Structure 1
Amino acid sequence: MTHSKQSRTKLIYALIAAAVLIVLLVWMQGGFKDKVEPGVSESVANGKAEERAPTVKVVRKAVEKIFAWPGTAAARTVAQIAPKIPGRILEIAVRAGDRVKKDQVLARLDERETRSRLGQARAALAAAEAQAGHARADARRIQNLYDKEAATRQALDAALAAARTAEAQVREARDAIREAESSQTETVLRAPFDGIIVERRLEPGDMALPGSPILVLQESQRLRIESAIPAECAGLVEIGDELKVRIANPERELDAVADEIQPAADPRTRTVLVKARLPEDSGVQPGAFGWLYQACGQDEVLLLPVSAVSRVGQLESVRLVVDDKVRLRHVRTGKRHDGQIEILSGLDEGDTVLLPEAGR
């Protein structure tokens, strides 16, 4: 019997605790306060909204559609550093990422072969000059004999032709020397302009061939952004137009000027390559990703002042005036236009929205 009474006592205490908890929850939810119509701000439910703060109406306007076309920063001038003569690479003085000055030595080739060719050319010149001297002496001797009627005209013509041939061989030998001397200077590769090394394709010990680049050099101070724009929008861009550019990393906005437009569209993508010049010394690295902004066409949008939209975390809302009462209305916004913002959903044209009070 005593056990039964204890069980009932515990049950009563549990019911009392549950009842107290329910009452507490109802009180925390405002269950004992006067009710205000759902969606209406309690502070203005009993008064006129227009008397408490200024209002503004949602308007529909035509605005330019701004598109962000992806692009890549590239140097206006790119040089493929390659030798004019074949040779084994002895030294490469720079690496990718190094900044270089004009005429700075970038690489050296083995010059033993060019020195050998130069020596051969000089020896050939000496031989040609000796042969030419002998031919000139023969021509003078035959001429004297011919004047004394001791030699035939045929012999004189042959001697003069041999002298002219020897002189031509001398000139050819001298040209070979100049070519060999020029080839010897080609064993040292220098930077044609100030820039940055972006690629190193060969290493010391490799065989360098004419037309095969050892290094790739880009002009680092004069860059532009290159972007493929749909043909219908690219037709609105003209040389000299000012365009906005946003670079991704580090994020920044720059002013650019269109300075080259591809004359024909790509038949596969229907796009036109547009190149816009970036400011000098912009600090942008070649190859950086960015966006080229361009106005293309117009669109009808709903607009509100930016200050009329409140944000709490990821939620955006406005205070909508309905029947002289203020209701909280969640909205979704879009792009900004000179102090106004697009309303994508949540409001209709002509809706009245409460603006924040001055000083708040």
Structure 2
Amino acid sequence: MAWWKQVVASAVVALAALIAWIAWMPEARPMLERVGVWPVLEATGTLDALAAIGITPAEAPQAAGGPGGPPGMAGGPTPVIAAEVIATQRTATVSAIGTGQALRSVAVTPEAPGRLVEVRVRPGDRVTAGDLLARLDAEAERIALDRAELMLEDARDTAVRLRSLRGVGASDVQIRDAERAVRGAELSLAQAALDLRRRDIVAPIDGIVGFVPAEVGNQVTTASEITRIDDRSVLLVSFLVPERHVRDLAPGTAIVAQPLGSFGTDLDGQIRNIDSRVQVASRSLTVEAEIANPDDALRAGMAFAISVTLPGEMLPAVDPLAIQWGREGAFVWAVRDETSVRVPVRIVQRTSNSVLVQADLETGDLVVREGVQSLRDGGPVAVRDTVRPDEVDEGAAAGAPLATVTTSEG
């Protein structure tokens, strides 16, 4: 096909499309007036020619209670559906990976060196504070205890005899020396009894016994670890939070923990301790949370996915459909005194059915969610219906997540 035929065919198609747009779309006239095409069509008689063959411009339905004539730029108010602005608290969800540790964990070591002659516990046994775990050989300590008892008995007899001879054969100095000897013998007996008790290795806390590497016959010292006892009735999980959330953290803040080995298991907990300083290398703050472990299903050393929802400031929330975009960024059409006002907004956070923004909006203001195509700044509008963002079908803004900050254990 020759080039001029292609040009003619394209022109015919474009003209047909323009005529169909004018005939069927009410928004055609306002837009053509805005760009200056409509006056040209009137001046050239094109509209009269179309009217002669039965083609007339489409007009939008007249707003209820509004003045007569076409809506929007055609003279009458533009019918719109508006959404009410509500105040919503901004939230941030901090996600982190933390490692659990027992509420208390004690390495059990002997108080004195010696040879193990008895081990009474096995891994996994539950013990209470004071329970006997193991014994060291104690023959020498028993002999020392018996000797101390004899020395005490002898010192007491001497003291009694000297008191009976007071003034007739025993001086006051001798009596005082005898009484001091009794006191010394009592202390020696107490020391011998203590040395004997130290041959028994007892549980310092309530908890669960870990591995017992020591065996009967081993020669141990005060540095030898007999076993380790963990009190895991509560598990402590340490994780990192970015420093920008320092003001939002407080002991008692709720957290949700998921063991990495069993996703889908949500465990409730709360923040227990917050570090006093920020780590310079990671610009993060160490936070310690506690998780109850009544059925003893959790173990120290397990990894947890931690989620903390931190509340923030109150912000205006608008319907997602009200957000429009222009060359200068996002904006909404606010309805004020029955006119449309273009209000710039900065999007802060999206939720399932609303958008939190920073803008010149107050709670109860109306923003246009349907009918924005024909609006202009300062143009008249007629609100046909009003909805709240929390009443909007969640499908209208599906997939809009909460603000999330992800960190990991340092």
Q: Give yes or no for TM over 0.5.
A: yes
- Aligned-residue offset at 1:103: 4.3
Residue 171 (str. 1) matches residue 183 (str. 2): yes
CA contact (8 A) 1:62 1:301 kept: no
Name the CA shift for 1:235/1:88 in 2 (closer, same or farther; >3 Å). Answer: farther
Residue 281 (str. 1) matches residue 314 (str. 2): no
Equivalent AA in structure 2 for residue 85 of structure 1: A
Deviation sequence 1:180-200 (CA, Å, 0-9, x none)? 223323322333444212343
What CA distance in whole angstroms lies between the structure 2 residues aligned with 1:277 and 1:217? Answer: 19
**Equivalence for 1:111:** 138
Residue 195 (str. 1) matches residue 222 (str. 2): no
Name the CA shift for 1:102/1:127 in 2 (closer, same or farther; >3 Å). Answer: closer
Name the CA shift for 1:85/1:226 in 2 (closer, same or farther; >3 Å). Answer: same
CA contact (8 A) 2:89 2:311 kept: no
CA contact (8 A) 1:262 1:273 kept: yes
**Equivalence for 1:293:** 307
What CA distance in whole angstroms lies between the structure 2 residues aligned with 1:133 and 1:286? Answer: 61
Deviation sequence 1:193-244 (CA, Å, 0-9, x none)? 4421234354333344446542211112222222233333344210111111
CA contact (8 A) 1:97 1:196 kept: yes
Residue 341 (str. 1) matches residue 403 (str. 2): no
**Equivalence for 1:3:** none
- Aligned-residue offset at 1:257: 1.1
Residue 256 (str. 1) matches residue 269 (str. 2): yes
- Aligned-residue offset at 1:134: 5.1
**Equivalence for 1:12:** none
Name the CA shift for 1:261/1:62 in 2 (closer, same or farther; >3 Å). Answer: closer
- SS of the residue corresponding to residue 306 of structure 2 reads strand
What CA distance in whole angstroms lies between the structure 2 residues aligned with 1:79 and 1:196? Answer: 10
CA contact (8 A) 1:81 1:217 kept: yes
What CA distance in whole angstroms lies between the structure 2 residues aligned with 1:267 and 1:91? Answer: 50
CA contact (8 A) 1:88 1:109 kept: yes
CA contact (8 A) 2:96 2:306 kept: yes
CA contact (8 A) 2:130 2:203 kept: yes
What CA distance in whole angstroms lies between the structure 2 residues aligned with 1:132 and 1:79? Answer: 47
- Aligned-residue offset at 1:266: 3.9
Equivalent AA in structure 1 for residue 238 of structure 2: E
- SS of the residue corresponding to residue 257 of structure 1 reads strand
Name the CA shift for 1:63/1:103 in 2 (closer, same or farther; >3 Å). Answer: same
TM-score, normalising length from structure 1? Answer: 0.56
What CA distance in whole angstroms lies between the structure 1 residues aligned with 2:246 and 2:101? Answer: 19
- Aligned-residue offset at 1:281: 1.2
Residue 93 (str. 1) matches residue 117 (str. 2): no
- Counting matched residue pairs gives 238
What CA distance in whole angstroms lies between the structure 2 residues aligned with 1:88 and 1:128? Answer: 34
Residue 162 (str. 1) matches residue 174 (str. 2): yes
What CA distance in whole angstroms lies between the structure 1 residues aligned with 2:94 and 2:197? Answer: 52
- SS of the residue corresponding to residue 252 of structure 2 reads coil
Residue segments in structure 2 that go unaligned for 5+ positions in a row: 1-87, 313-346, 354-393, 402-410
How much identity, in percent, do the aligned residues show? 22
Q: Which moved more, 1:175-184 or 1:254-263?
A: 175-184
**Equivalence for 1:240:** 252
Residue segments in structure 1 that go unaligned for 5+ positions in a row: 1-60, 144-158, 306-335, 344-360
Name the CA shift for 1:302/1:77 in 2 (closer, same or farther; >3 Å). Answer: closer
Please report the RMSD computed on the Cα atoms of aligned residues, expressed in angstroms.
3.5
